[in-house]
Amino acid sequence: MLSVGSVGVIVARYAQAHSDRLSAPPALGGGPVAQAATTVAVTSLGLVILLWIVRRATRPREMTPAEHRTYYRQLVARGIPKPERLSWTGEAVPTRQRANPRQWWIARTYRHRPRTTTIVAGALIAVMVSVVSLGVGATPSYADDGSVVDVVDGDTVDIQIGDTVERVRLLNVDAPENNKASRVSECLGPEATAEMERLLPAGSRVTVIYDVERRDNYGRLLAGVENADGELVNAELAQAGLGGPLVVGANSRFHDRVRDASIAAENDKRGAFGTDIACTPGSIISTYESESTSAVADSLPEDSAALATIAATALAVSEAGDSAVADLGEFDWLGPDRMTPYIERVREAQQTAATHGDVAEERHAEAKADEERAAERAAEEAAAQEKAAREEAARQAERDSAPRSGDSDSNSRNSGGGGGSTYTGCRNYNGTGMIDDKGRSFQPIPCS
């Protein structure tokens, strides 16, 4: 047999699983009269349950062995009697007698004043019936059944409710735009529409669940939609990473479920948070961080040309960071400040690339200056070598134009004349044999 606690747990679990269908928003409660009727009904039910529990707990019964020992000690030691509803072990348990309705106060009042009592009781019953009737009549429907006509985009659906086709804007979720007519779409717009078409196939039965405000400025119904499988498609879209949480006005009924679903999508890297599609934030940040890592070398080379290439690459990656931040700004539909962590990661990688580029540029300037100084030294050395070569060539030309050794005899013969020798070859001034034009003695020697 189920206990009261077990029944309460079952009811609580059912209510939690069907909270959207069992609980209406406060503004849809039908006003003060309906809320008063609901309060009276709930309070009455609570009192009945409480009285049943009290009656059950105070029923006459036989003591347990532990209670027998406890109350027997109290009776012997201090003279404290046992509770009347408890019987000693082995003693007969008295049967609780039913109350006599003739002894109730209303019965006694009726016997003395039957007409007045009847009028008052009838008036009270009529008032209670009227209050409950007004409450039920004043409470509008907070959910309607319908069928899907067409999916407009990721967060807008045409649904037939009764005889009217309503355009329903899904509450507390925002999806990328996908304009079928103009074929102009945001990143993941077609994917969000395709996901909604999967969740809500044309002709399928759905439940449209309202919140505080039922229509927006464009006349669209604002609601959550449960498909035939009982899935809240508002949250399912976010679960796929194709929608983000949104609150407009007083409608926030499904916000927490959409937010939690979107966080789960981010943790699982689905949809906008994955890297399968190039335009998604996940792909943007992954690509940029990879480029930034490639641009930052572990060690810088000494060659100025290589340093110039590294500096140019790092600075280009740094400048590309601004473009990545602008692309991330297009995903405001994922929720306020949702892209802030991604933008911070881009800025960090951008700063790293810029710093590395600046260092490479400084090293390039230093290496280029060193190379210019080395080139100047090499030019000076080349000029000196060229000058030495010219001087050596001149000396060689002078040696080549000198007379051969066979001319020494004629030169010797001519040495006795009045003038100096005309010999222009190599000479040994330590020897004798000829006299130059200055009167110095020398000996002709071979130049080779």
Residues annotated as catalytic (active site), given as ranges? 169, 177, 220
Whole-angstrom Cα distance, residue 219 to residue 176? 21
Whole-angstrom Cα distance, residue 31 to residue 19? 21
Whole-angstrom Cα distance, residue 261 to residue 234? 9
- Report the alpha-carbon angle 210-212-213, nearest 5: 85
Whole-angstrom Cα distance, residue 330 to residue 411? 105
Whole-angstrom Cα distance, residue 256 to residue 262? 10
| 381: its two tokens | 């050395």
Amino acid at 441: S
| 51: its two tokens | 């009285």
Whole-angstrom Cα distance, residue 328 to residue 307? 32
What Rg, from alpha-carbon coordinates, does the chain have? 53
Whole-angstrom Cα distance, residue 210 to residue 368? 72
The number of CA neighbours under 13 Å toward the Cβ of 60 is 11
The residue with tokens 């609601």 is 223
- 184: number of Cβ within 10 Å: 10
